Structure 1
């Protein structure tokens, strides 16, 4: 189906990306982190990125947020180049925020939100305070990781974003708050045409959330963003589907199991080195020999 440019939120063409060693132009590894990525996302879509650890989900989201430069390909958001002309209204929320020393300091939540411009978005800020059940009198250094995550989400979502990039930010939330957040995000998508790309490993309660799902493996797309629920021809065969919980959870679990089997098969065929799991060793390592000298437990 042909689509006019105004309908497209994200356009990625021929994207290949290597992580580069600091201070050089040399790649960290010969294999790219992302390889030949091509897809469009429509405005108002909600895409779920599914893939194992190291599949490239976080890298893709940080690239879309303009945090790193690509070496090959093109990425546009709302028709504008991500790296030279990033449009307003792009919000990225990742897990690293919680490790920032500033957000762990002794500052009251109300003052913290004011310091990042909460007073400019009073109506949306107050709505999110209710959705995420946040106490304005909390002290940032004295609350739990989950409560701190709620404050991050209020901060990040209170402006009127048009593209939201979520990288595992619901991992600390309790089930009720997560459900209320997903309801809010769906309403934003449907009422304002906002676009969401969400990477997560928690699939419970998500069956009705995405408009599209995508499967990433080894930095490439085993399945490009595809309307959800999947057509029967794209579903894992019933005999191979690892049924557990919801349909989405079952599909995700099956894909991840296939990814692991694919990797192990390639390792056995010598197509890639064996890097994971226990390692067979005949001679002790230097560190093992050293520590044995000072092991008085026997």
Structure 2
């Protein structure tokens, strides 16, 4: 199994590497650090290309990737790649598809609420176009120990069952406890009945999913929780979050099939969320179990960047 890390030579790049290591250690995955160089274009800052400029830039990018690889512990296989593209997001998606990655990990900006999350231009583009799940690391994420729990946020609209199936598959493969969460904003006139409705919805979704494949729920620890507050942000804050936890959320119904679109509610969750987030494409189908076997994973050596493509 492979995870692509959209690496940048700054704090966000380090956050992404740390989270990717934590995820990889839970499942014995290998990491592919990817940096994108701009293509020669009349719209670039230097055109026509100055003699030797491309080589100088490639050398600098290679040095940055060496620094990124140095952040990866020896027990996690990793290699680096340099890609060329007019769009960094498109190049990262293409790399993930080419390398057969099951996750694309990036760091978020640090200007959000409590310096947790802000979606920058590259992350925004990925969240509108990626065909593989995108993982967002909060600012300052330093934990590299294995992930401890998976929380799956389920809304009341169509598609919740698909998100839950993905959550069950991820939790089972990683032997993680699974928490099912619904978030309720209690406005004027709302009552405890709203919370009860959310709990009933969560249990109905869980029961519906059990008919898909009973083996998926064997020995799986599932908890059902409703978070509520005056706003969605307050509801997120009201939940207890473990160290090493990660949140799984689905794409908006506005997303095209097999692509991601972050809806308004997900954006509000993101602004208040204290843990990393995985966003899965609409109608996403997890790869077969055969592709998730972690035995005999080859050790990648040496940890040196590939030439730009």
Q: TM-score, normalised by structure 2?
A: 0.28
Larger radius of gyration: 1
Q: TM-score, normalised by structure 1?
A: 0.28
